[in-house]
A and B are shown apart, each in its own frame.
Chain A
Amino acid sequence: MTAGSSIAGLHAVFRRELGSYFTTPLAFVFLAAFAFAAPAFAFNVGRFFDTNRADLAPLFAYLPWLLMILMPALAMRAWAEERDRGTIETLLSLPVPVWAASLGKFLAAWVVAGLALALTFPMWIAVNYLGAPDNMAIAAGYLGAFLLAGAYLAIGQALSATTGNQVVAFVLGVLAAFLLTMAGSPFVTGALSSAVPAWLVEAIAHLSALERFSAFQSGVIGVKDLVYFLSFIAGGTAAAGLLIGASRAGGR
């Protein structure tokens, strides 16, 4: 009964969330923006044609930057909107465990992110038409991008649970995604090295999402990298659930 009712709750929340993305212009605007921006980056900034290579490297090189902005935009409403509209009262009075509600919300947003990535498939077809790319590497790259999007989303939804203001949730989400992506870059390590011990700088550099993502791009699907992304997804979703569960203790 308990497991069954948790699944019923997860399913109900997932359906409601996915429905709300598509009954409002949100998902369509988001998908259109993604479908436009991803190739635009690849063609103009990534010089898709000038590389004279049949692969999707120009696309994947800029995806983290695009996802860093767009995933927090998709995640910001998750809990902030519930708090703002008061519907969190209804949600928390239903016999649904918070983890199920949190996971339902995450999965719905992840499906929309997956659809957005799917909209770049014409580029995959194009490179196959133009040459003979390593399709396994491209598939791995897509898997990496999907996992990266999931990590950004989960963190964004956890931050959305801290506030009733969607703009605040968005800004925090972008900031967190930026730090996660740039953790290994000289920009961040340089800034940190004067303030914190070297081992900590190294540990933070180790968290860099960009390096993990580039492993996928070269067609390598490592267990460690999978665990890395999945733990951010699990951690973010659990944190959102814990934060919302904690609101039972007091406040709105």
Chain B
Amino acid sequence: MLTVEKLVKRFGPRVAADTVSFSLQPGEVLGFLGPNGAGKSTTMRMIAGRLEPDSGRVLVGKHDVATERRAAQRLIGYLPEGAPAYPSMTPRSFVEFCLRARGWSGREMALASAEALDRARLGDAAGQRIATLSKGYKRRAALAAAIAHDPLLLILDEPTDGLDPNQKDQVRALIRDMAADKAIIVSTHILEEVPAVCSRTIVIDKGRILADESPEEMAARTRTGRLDDAFRALTQTVPAEADAA
């Protein structure tokens, strides 16, 4: 479904992605882990066709994102970092805008929009202006827009960031629900949600992939068997003082 080959992206002197390669099949939920500024968002933006890589290639289905960007983008649902949405729109009109831009119309569009709003549990908030909604609802509106066209590849950049524990659970359940027939990439730095959602993890730091394995394999890297210890061991060269204490 998704093949990422040696992606490189530099912003000035900083290397945001350094020969990032992996592939993803339908049914897999990939947890994209790494410290802030590791290159997670940059890589996801390149896969979504929003940012062009300096070199390397992204294939979505059979479509090269560089040469057949729009064909690739039709297969992708993307929730950008911070879940941006137009404040003057309602979640329903926002979802319909995204569907309409993808060529949907009429009854089909209304049904797809209603289903996405329902899956993202917008409830009555679907008809209120996004500017008046809480952060959690705003995030759900952007999530609904990302899933409404039933994409084969779903890219979610920190979908649970800023949500309360109940909302986090709902989003995790939604991701598990959708996992059966989609390839999903979820970036997060909340490690406890990884075993609950992901079938595979990639740890990235300074633009490089440090590990690509199952959450269980990753946890088994340290004696404690804990993911956060494994994450620290991978991404910190010097152990933190807290560990020594």
A residues with a Cβ closer than 8 A to B are 2, 4-5, 8-9, 11-13, 15-16, 19-20, 23-24, 85-87, 89-90, 92-97, 248-251
Interface string of B77-121 (1 = CB under 8 A from A): 010111011111100010001101111010000000000000000
Interface string of B132-172 (1 = CB under 8 A from A): 00000000001001000000000000000000000000000
Interface of A is mostly: helix
From A9, A13, A15, A20, B88 is in contact (CB under 8 Å) with A20
- Report the bound CA distance from A53 to B93 in whole Å: 50
Q: Given the known inter-chain contacts A5-B70, A15-B100, A97-B70, please indicate yes or no for A89 contacting B89, CB distance below 8 A.
A: no
The residues of B that contact A9 with a CB separation of less than 8 Å are: 101
- Report the bound CA distance from A5 to B78 in whole Å: 19
B52 CB-CB contact with A under 8 Å: yes
- Is B86 in contact with A87, judged by CB distance below 8 angstroms? yes
B residues with a Cβ closer than 8 A to A are 9, 11, 45, 48-52, 69-71, 73-74, 76, 78, 80-82, 84-89, 93, 97-98, 100-103, 105, 129, 142, 145
- Is B50 in contact with A8, judged by CB distance below 8 angstroms? no
The residues of A that contact B105 with a CB separation of less than 8 Å are: 8
Closest chain-B Cβ to A83's Cβ sits at a distance in Å of 10
Closest chain-B Cβ to A73's Cβ sits at a distance in Å of 17
- Is A92 in contact with B100, judged by CB distance below 8 angstroms? no
The residues of B that contact A96 with a CB separation of less than 8 Å are: 70, 101
- Report the bound CA distance from A11 to B104 in whole Å: 11
- Is B52 in contact with A12, judged by CB distance below 8 angstroms? no
Q: List 24 A-B contacts (CB under 8 A).
A: A8-B103, A8-B105, A11-B100, A19-B89, A19-B93, A20-B88, A23-B88, A23-B129, A85-B86, A89-B45, A89-B50, A89-B81, A90-B85, A90-B98, A92-B49, A92-B50, A93-B73, A93-B76, A94-B101, A95-B69, A97-B70, A248-B50, A248-B51, A248-B52
Q: Given the known inter-chain contacts A4-B103, A8-B102, A12-B97, please indicate yes or no for A93 contacting B49, CB distance below 8 A.
A: yes
Closest chain-B Cβ to A242's Cβ sits at a distance in Å of 14
Closest chain-A Cβ to B18's Cβ sits at a distance in Å of 16
Closest chain-B Cβ to A248's Cβ sits at a distance in Å of 5
- Is A16 in contact with B78, judged by CB distance below 8 angstroms? no
Q: Given the known inter-chain contacts A89-B84, A93-B73, please indicate yes or no for A12 contacting B48, CB distance below 8 A.
A: no
The residues of B that contact A12 with a CB separation of less than 8 Å are: 97, 100-101
The residues of A that contact B89 with a CB separation of less than 8 Å are: 16, 19-20, 23
- Report the bound CA distance from A89 to B84 in whole Å: 8
Q: Given the known inter-chain contacts A8-B101, A8-B103, please indicate yes or no for A90 contacting B88, CB distance below 8 A.
A: no
- Report the bound CA distance from A15 to B93 in whole Å: 10
Closest chain-B Cβ to A190's Cβ sits at a distance in Å of 43
- Is A86 in contact with B80, judged by CB distance below 8 angstroms? yes
- Report the bound CA distance from A164 to B57 in whole Å: 29
Q: Given the known inter-chain contacts A95-B70, A248-B50, please indicate yes or no for A85 contacting B87, CB distance below 8 A.
A: yes
- Report the bound CA distance from A33 to B51 in whole Å: 40
The residues of B that contact A24 with a CB separation of less than 8 Å are: 88
